Amino acid sequence: MESKSETRELLHDIESKTAGLRSAAKILRECPPKEKKELICLMKQSAQDILKYLTNLEKEINS
Amino acid sequence: MKNLKFLVVEDEKLAQKVMAKHLEEYVVDFAETKEAALHKLQAADYDICFFDLMLGKKDNCSGLKLIPPAVSKGAYVVVMSSLDSEEIVNKAYESGCHDFYVKGNEEANISAVLARYQQKNASANAVTVFSEQFITDDPQTRSDILEVLKYARSSLPILILGQSGTGKTCLARLIHEHSGRAGQFIDINCSAYNQELLEAEIFGYKKGAFTGAYENRRGKLLEADKGTLFLDEIGAMSPDMQTKLLKAIEEKSFYPVGSDKKERSEFRVISATLEDLQKLLTEEKLRFDFFQRIHGFTIALKPLSQRKSDIFPLISAFTRTSKKLSFEKHARTLLLNHTWPGNIRELKRFIDVAAAGDGMITQDTVLRHTAQAMKTERQSDGFLAQEQYDCALAKGLNGAMEKFAYEVIKRSLLQHAGKKVKTLKELKISKRMLYSTLRKFEGKKDGIKI
């Protein structure tokens, strides 16, 4: 039961983070250099979170 | 309409950044938690609130709990989520939200939300627009203005055409007021400056950039940041200047005169001209690429002579806070038949002068004014008015001459209170010509009613 709820939460987090990443990618082109750097930094952090969630999801599925 | 104020409740830093970018021309507050959001809702009023559904780890849709307090304060509430199950969407609407979207395509989502918000407020706005902000009873003008206001919230450039005094600046200001943009409305009349001064005015300059530049000065582009830049009489701008401005419009950045530091400004452009656009393009006074960039939506304001139903509503508006005027019957007819070459500006001047007198508008008062106005029109526009030329193109020269003869006879009859003998003598025409002209245009022998 616990595991099912964890999986659902992980899926939500992945959906949420990828949606954010997609929206950020769309505005990246028109950002001035300083904002671009800041945005890239946040996007990298999001990408790392996605990787972490995917690894956890993989573990959930395999367990 | 006031500038829009937003509250965005979002726990993700990246999503906050994206929202900030899409709403950069507005006033936006951010909160990351439910508690912080409730505090902000208590402390301030917001026009539109965006609530993320899930705030933090293991959250149980706490964004929903923010809906009732926001709605009770009159805000338009939007829920955004990566979850879009029927159950969640229903819960959001049951809690009172106005809009719901799935995260991932913020640009389209936000612009759709703004359009729906605008639509919700449109009917309420229309009443005040035409009775207070742009006074008109003319159905065509009302419809054109409502159409252009649909684009007020977008960044689409707008081009306003119309004779001098038809209300171009007033309309530009109205569009800005409906844009919800946080910045100011900045206007500049391009014909009031020579090209060097115009460049300095628009782009600003650095101290020492040229003789007389004793200090740094912000230009109109920077003053219009997050607001609207209204360029009046664009036909007076040189092609070189148009090239420079085109670059600034496209890149939203520019260099002030004498500076090597790039400035950024998020401005929206509204332009206006009283000149014939086609002629400006043919004579290469208006660059085609510049024209393409500034005419996202084009609206042409009719001269006052073509919206006579506006004359008395405008007079009422002009005298709202001053002395009320009394009009004789013939004076009313003359005012309605005058061509108002100076349009609303001329009407305003006439009312100012009239209000300074005894408040009684007689036939003589109007005749004195109209005679002066027609004299001025003749001096400024030459013998052939644009309207006459257009008529000749539409009806052929003979048709236009007949129409011209009719208009002259009609005005003469009005000025002589319908006394045909005086008109015949004044215009040196035969009775046959007078009656045949009146019959042709009015279909009756006795001529016009005064």
Residues B374-405: pLDDT tens digits?
655 555 555 677 677 777 877 888 888 888 89
Higher pLDDT, A30 or A52: A52
Q: What is the mean pLDDT of residues B408-436?
A: 85
Residue B314 has pLDDT above 90, yes or no: yes
Give the pLDDT band (50/70/90) at residue B73: confident
Q: What is the mean pLDDT of residues A22-50?
A: 92
The pLDDT, as a whole number, for residue B124 is 58
Give the pLDDT band (50/70/90) at residue A1: very low
pTM of the shown model: 0.60
The pLDDT, as a whole number, for residue B439 is 87
Q: What is the mean pLDDT of residues B221-243?
A: 93
Q: How far apart are CA B54 and CA B110, in angstroms?
A: 19
Token look-up 């990351």 returns B32
CB pairs under 8 A between A and B: 55
- Report whether B185 contacts B227 (CB < 8 A): yes
- Report whether B135 contacts B313 (CB < 8 A): yes
The pLDDT, as a whole number, for residue B446 is 45
Residue B449 has pLDDT above 50, yes or no: no
Q: Which of A30-44, B18-32, B46-60, B156-170 comes out lowest in average pLDDT? A: B46-60
Angle subtended by helix axes B13-22 and B106-128, to nearest 10: 40
In tens, the pLDDT along B367-376 reads 887 776 665 5
User: How many other C-beta atoms lie within 10 A of the C-beta of residue B360?
Assistant: 12
Residue B86 has pLDDT above 90, yes or no: no
The minimal CB distance from A12 to the residues B15, B18, B83 is found for B83
Return the half-sphere exposure (C-beta side, CA atoms, 13 A cut-off) of residue B224: 26
Q: How far apart are CA B54 and CA A17, in angstroms?
A: 13
Are A43 and B21 within 8 A, CB to CB?
Answer: no
The pLDDT, as a whole number, for residue B376 is 56
Residues of A with CB under 8 A from a CB of B: 9, 12, 15-24, 26-27, 31-32, 35, 38-39, 42-43, 45-46
In tens, the pLDDT along B161-199 reads 999 999 999 999 999 988 888 899 999 999 888 888 899
Are A23 and B107 within 8 A, CB to CB?
Answer: yes
Are A23 and B12 within 8 A, CB to CB?
Answer: no
Annotated domain spans of chain A: 4-62
Please report the residues numbered 146 through 175 in chain B whose beta carbons come closer than 8 angstroms to any beta carbon of chain A.
Answer: none
Mean pLDDT over all residues of chain B?
86
Strands B326-327 and B360-361, sheet pairing: parallel
With DSSP H G I counted as helix, E B as strand and the rest as coil, what are the percentages for chain B, rounded to 5?
A: 55, 15, 35
Residue A22 has pLDDT above 50, yes or no: yes
Range among A11-15, B57-61, B158-162, B403-407 rated most confident: B158-162
Are B83 and A32 within 8 A, CB to CB?
Answer: no
Suggest the residue from B8, B18, B107, B110 to mutate for an interface test with chain A (most A CBs closer than 10 A): B18
Residue of B nearest to A44 (CA): B14
How close B22 comes to chain A (CA, Å)?
9
B17 chain-A contacts, CB cut-off 8 A: 24, 38-39, 42
- Report whether A34 contacts A42 (CB < 8 A): no
Are A9 and B105 within 8 A, CB to CB?
Answer: no
Are B107 and A26 within 8 A, CB to CB?
Answer: yes
Suggest the residue from B10, B14, B59 to mutate for an interface test with chain A (most A CBs closer than 10 A): B14
Q: Which helix (H) or strand (E) holds B5?
A: strand B5-9
Are B103 and A24 within 8 A, CB to CB?
Answer: no
Q: How far apart are CA B52 and CA B10, in angstroms?
A: 5
Sign of torsion over alpha carbons B209, B210, B211, B212: negative
Give the pLDDT band (50/70/90) at residue A40: very high
Higher pLDDT, B343 or B320: B343
Residue B356 buriedness (CB in 10 A; 0-12 / 13-18 / 19+): exposed
Are B14 and A16 within 8 A, CB to CB?
Answer: no
Are A19 and B13 within 8 A, CB to CB?
Answer: no
Q: How far apart are CA B45 and CA B11, in angstroms?
A: 21
Q: How far apart are CA B286 and CA B275, in angstroms?
A: 11
What are the CA-CA distances from residue B94 to residues B64, B68, B293, B422 (Å)? 10, 10, 44, 77
